[in-house]
Amino acid sequence: MISLTVNNRAVTVAAEPETPLLWVLREHLGLTGTKYGCGVAACGACTVHLEGEAVRSCSIPASAAAGRAVTTIEGLPGGANHPLVRAWVAVEAPQCGYCQTGQIMQAATLLARTPRPTRDEIVAHMDGNLCRCATYNQIVEAIEQAAGSV
């Protein structure tokens, strides 16, 4: 049994300690907003927050999250009214949409630390979150639009 806090809710799951956090979130808790992309922490589709830091949940064993706070896209404060989500929609960042939850979670950590990042800071922070539809310009624009509102 593994106990952790997910989206401000204490949960206990019956999972092997080495089960990736991604599968605990999706299969055990039904939080399917976090996506499986590559399985090797290279694409960022599975990005969640662990104690406020962006991590790739496909490569974090559930046991490493035990007793710690995990936030998924479903637990992002404000939900659909979060400034990043509103900006994403306003600039039409999603195309297929598959990577977008990971992109938003990655961006949220940047804006929490740096409320008004420069374009270069945004690009550097988002490096490694891949988008197969190549909406990188819209992603940067959405983060710029949301900056200062988070």
**Per-residue DSSP letter, 73:** G
- Protein fold of 79-149: DNA polymerase; domain 1 (1.10.150)
Q: Which residues pair with 3 in a beta bridge?
A: 12
Q: Find out whether 133 and 95 touch, Cβ atoms under 8 Å.
A: yes
Segments of the chain assigned to CATH 3.10.20.30: 2-75
What percent of the chain lies above the pLDDT cut of 90?
Answer: 95
pTM for this one? 0.95
Q: Find out whether 15 and 62 touch, Cβ atoms under 8 Å.
A: yes
- Protein fold of 2-75: Ubiquitin-like (UB roll) (3.10.20)
Segments of the chain assigned to CATH 1.10.150.120: 79-149
Q: How confident is the model at residue 94 (pLDDT cuts 50, 70, 90)?
A: confident
The per-residue pLDDT for 47 is 98
The per-residue pLDDT for 82 is 96
Which residue reads 């907003």 in tokens? 33
Q: Which structure tokens are listed for 20?
A: 């990736």
Average pLDDT, the chain: 96
